[in-house]
Amino acid sequence: MIYSPELFQEAQEIIDARRLDAEAARSARDRAFDAEEPQYHVWKQRRAEAAMNVGKALGMPTREEAVAYLERLRDDNLKAQAEIRALLQKHGLPEDHLEVHYTCPKCGDVGSVGTSVCDCKIAVLRDLAFREAAKKSPLRFSTFEDFDLKYYSDEYLEKYGCSPRSRMAEILSLCRQYADNFDERSENLFMTGNTGLGKTHLSLAIAGEVIRKGYDVIYNSAQNLFSELQKEYFGKPETRGQYESLVLECDLLIIDDLGVEFSTQFTRAELYNILNTRLNTHLPTIISTNLTMKEIEDQYSMRISSRLIGDFLCLNFIGGDVRQEKLRRG
């Protein structure tokens, strides 16, 4: 994934703060134990002296004398360690109580292992990047609980073989199950239907539940999504591709209101790239639209409509405009 220099700097500051906090916490535990157990200071001093005297071996007349001296220092150090462990045990403390407890034992909270960026720093970078992405599309969470079926008619419609209320009850149940059982291999959802039927509401409800499970979610309207991608494409070279990488690699991508954006060669190519890439990497996507499949084919391409038909579960929302019905009822 691509990250800007500013994100790298912010991530390193977070890693450095973790290290300083861990070392400060270790020093505080050390001082507290030193004050509580007088013998600890004695054996801590013995360990320090053994470490400081290692250099004296270099001035020994013979190799044998140096080796013998180093062995005595080693024995003194091991003895001091054993005594300190015994003191900790006496006070009911774990053996590692006086060690530094780094957030990442792999790199010791420095952010790198050798010349490679540590996984912990990559995780911080990813988290920061998704926070930045979230600012571009602030989520105003809806819930499944406030999705009210009473605003849908229970009149049987021959065209659909059911009433709007029964159809929407099925869709609500399916969306709940989708959110409850979500993982990176969940299926793709394609929500279609006229405006005001609850597509955005249920998309937001799914997003909220999935985020609470700890997954990374990108939610945006098609208009804002393609605007951000186009702005990035023609923007600074050092940040080019950062938002696109998040869109392509997030655990769940939700594109709301597909079709309201101004259709250009760029948006059509970008939509196909998003769909194709995420399908190939088996990452789930949810798309909502007011367009029919024929209108999608006309506005975008047959390649895109075939992807939606073949690789998405279609949820067809039916009924009257719920928002208007709510206003009518007051």
- Arch. (CATH architecture) of 137-329: 3-Layer(aba) Sandwich (3.40)
Task: Answer whether residue 141 shows pLDDT above 80.
Answer: no
Distance CA 189, CA 210 (A): 14
Pair 210, 251: CB distance under 8 Å: yes
pTM above 0.85, yes or no: no
Specify the 3-state DSSP secondary structure of 42.
helix
Confidence class for position 240, pLDDT limits 50, 70, 90: low
- Per-residue pLDDT at 6: 79
- Per-residue pLDDT at 239: 59
Report which of 198, 204, 200, 85 is spatially closest to residue 149, judged by C-alpha positions: 198
Task: Answer whether residue 330 shows pLDDT above 70.
Answer: no
In DSSP terms, 219 is beta-bridged to 254
- Per-residue pLDDT at 125: 86
- Per-residue pLDDT at 94: 94
- Per-residue pLDDT at 136: 63
Pair 232, 244: CB distance under 8 Å: yes
Backbone torsions φ then ψ of 141, nearest 5 degrees = -60, 135
Confidence class for position 23, pLDDT limits 50, 70, 90: very high
Distance CA 226, CA 57 (A): 68
Domain boundaries, the chain: 5-120, 137-329
Task: Answer whether residue 296 shows pLDDT above 60.
Answer: yes
Report which of 260, 312, 259, 258 is spatially closest to residue 288, judged by C-alpha positions: 258
Mean pLDDT value of segment 318-322: 83
Task: Answer whether residue 20 shows pLDDT above 80.
Answer: yes
Mean pLDDT taken over the chain: 88
- Per-residue pLDDT at 17: 95
Mean pLDDT value of segment 51-75: 84
Distance CA 187, CA 284 (A): 6
Mean pLDDT value of segment 217-232: 90
Task: Answer whether residue 138 shows pLDDT above 60.
Answer: no
Per residue in 157-198, pLDDT tens? 998 899 999 999 999 999 999 999 999 889 999 999 998 899
